[in-house]
Protein backbone atom coordinates (compact mmCIF):
# COMPACT_ATOMS: atom_id res chain seq x y z
CA UNK A 1 0.00 0.00 0.00
CA UNK A 2 1.32 3.40 -0.89
CA UNK A 3 1.63 6.01 1.84
CA UNK A 4 -0.73 8.29 -0.08
CA UNK A 5 -3.39 5.58 0.06
CA UNK A 6 -2.80 5.09 3.77
CA UNK A 7 -2.83 8.76 4.75
CA UNK A 8 -5.41 10.08 2.27
CA UNK A 9 -8.24 9.98 4.79
CA UNK A 10 -6.18 11.76 7.43
CA UNK A 11 -5.29 14.48 4.95
CA UNK A 12 -8.95 14.96 4.04
CA UNK A 13 -9.86 15.23 7.73
CA UNK A 14 -7.07 17.75 8.24
CA UNK A 15 -8.47 19.82 5.37
CA UNK A 16 -11.97 19.66 6.86
CA UNK A 17 -10.63 20.69 10.24
CA UNK A 18 -8.92 23.80 8.86
CA UNK A 19 -11.87 24.63 6.62
CA UNK A 20 -14.04 24.55 9.74
CA UNK A 21 -11.89 27.32 11.25
CA UNK A 22 -11.51 29.56 8.19
CA UNK A 23 -11.60 29.40 4.40
CA UNK A 24 -8.65 27.47 2.96
CA UNK A 25 -6.99 27.65 -0.43
CA UNK A 26 -4.78 25.18 -2.26
CA UNK A 27 -1.30 26.57 -1.67
CA UNK A 28 -2.11 27.57 1.91
CA UNK A 29 -3.38 24.13 2.88
CA UNK A 30 -0.44 22.55 1.05
CA UNK A 31 1.91 24.57 3.29
CA UNK A 32 -0.08 23.61 6.41
CA UNK A 33 0.08 19.93 5.49
CA UNK A 34 3.82 20.25 4.80
CA UNK A 35 4.27 21.51 8.40
CA UNK A 36 2.90 18.14 9.50
CA UNK A 37 5.15 16.12 7.22
CA UNK A 38 2.77 15.61 4.28
CA UNK A 39 4.32 16.48 0.92
CA UNK A 40 1.48 16.81 -1.58
CA UNK A 41 1.86 18.06 -5.10
CA UNK A 42 -0.74 20.35 -6.63
CA UNK A 43 -1.64 17.41 -8.89
CA UNK A 44 -2.64 15.42 -5.80
CA UNK A 45 -4.17 18.16 -3.65
CA UNK A 46 -6.42 19.93 -6.15
CA UNK A 47 -8.24 16.78 -7.31
CA UNK A 48 -8.72 15.94 -3.62
CA UNK A 49 -10.25 19.38 -2.95
CA UNK A 50 -12.47 19.09 -6.03
CA UNK A 51 -13.64 15.62 -4.98
CA UNK A 52 -14.43 16.89 -1.48
CA UNK A 53 -16.44 19.69 -3.03
CA UNK A 54 -18.24 17.28 -5.36
CA UNK A 55 -19.07 15.06 -2.37
CA UNK A 56 -20.60 18.06 -0.60
CA UNK A 57 -18.04 18.43 2.19
CA UNK A 58 -16.64 21.72 0.89
CA UNK A 59 -17.89 24.56 -1.26
CA UNK A 60 -15.69 27.03 -3.06
CA UNK A 61 -15.70 30.67 -3.95
CA UNK A 62 -13.34 32.47 -6.27
CA UNK A 63 -11.72 35.67 -5.02
CA UNK A 64 -9.37 38.17 -6.58
CA UNK A 65 -6.23 38.38 -4.43
CA UNK A 66 -3.60 40.82 -5.64
CA UNK A 67 -4.78 40.46 -9.22
CA UNK A 68 -4.90 36.66 -9.15
CA UNK A 69 -7.98 34.51 -8.87
CA UNK A 70 -7.84 32.32 -5.76
CA UNK A 71 -10.39 29.63 -5.02
CA UNK A 72 -11.25 29.48 -1.32
CA UNK A 73 -12.85 26.38 0.15
CA UNK A 74 -15.31 26.52 3.04
CA UNK A 75 -16.75 23.63 5.01
CA UNK A 76 -20.42 22.78 4.46
CA UNK A 77 -22.96 21.47 6.98
CA UNK A 78 -22.34 17.98 5.59
CA UNK A 79 -18.60 18.51 6.05
CA UNK A 80 -19.13 19.62 9.67
CA UNK A 81 -21.21 16.50 10.37
CA UNK A 82 -18.60 14.30 8.74
CA UNK A 83 -15.81 15.95 10.74
CA UNK A 84 -17.71 15.54 14.03
CA UNK A 85 -18.35 11.85 13.38
CA UNK A 86 -14.75 11.32 12.25
CA UNK A 87 -13.40 12.87 15.46
CA UNK A 88 -15.17 10.20 17.50
CA UNK A 89 -13.97 7.42 15.21
CA UNK A 90 -10.39 8.70 15.11
CA UNK A 91 -10.29 9.12 18.90
CA UNK A 92 -11.40 5.51 19.34
CA UNK A 93 -9.03 4.17 16.68
CA UNK A 94 -6.00 6.08 17.93
CA UNK A 95 -6.76 5.02 21.49
CA UNK A 96 -6.58 1.43 20.35
CA UNK A 97 -3.47 2.01 18.25
CA UNK A 98 -1.59 3.47 21.23
CA UNK A 99 -3.00 1.46 24.13
CA UNK A 100 0.11 -0.73 24.27
CA UNK A 101 2.58 2.18 24.22
C-alpha 66: how far from chain center: 25
DSSP state of 39: -
At residue 2, does pLDDT exceed 70?
A: no
- Contact (Cβ atoms closer than 8 angstroms) between residue 74 and residue 60: yes
At 41-88, the pLDDT tens digits run 999 999 999 999 999 999 999 988 889 899 999 999 999 999 999 998
What is the distance between the alpha carbons of residues 18 and 41, in angstroms, rounded to a whole number? 19
Give the pLDDT band (50/70/90) at residue 12: very high
Other C-beta atoms closer than 10 Å to the C-beta of 33 total 19
Amino acid sequence: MKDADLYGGLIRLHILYHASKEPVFGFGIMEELRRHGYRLSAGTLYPMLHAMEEAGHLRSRSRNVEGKIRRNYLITAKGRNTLAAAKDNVRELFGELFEED
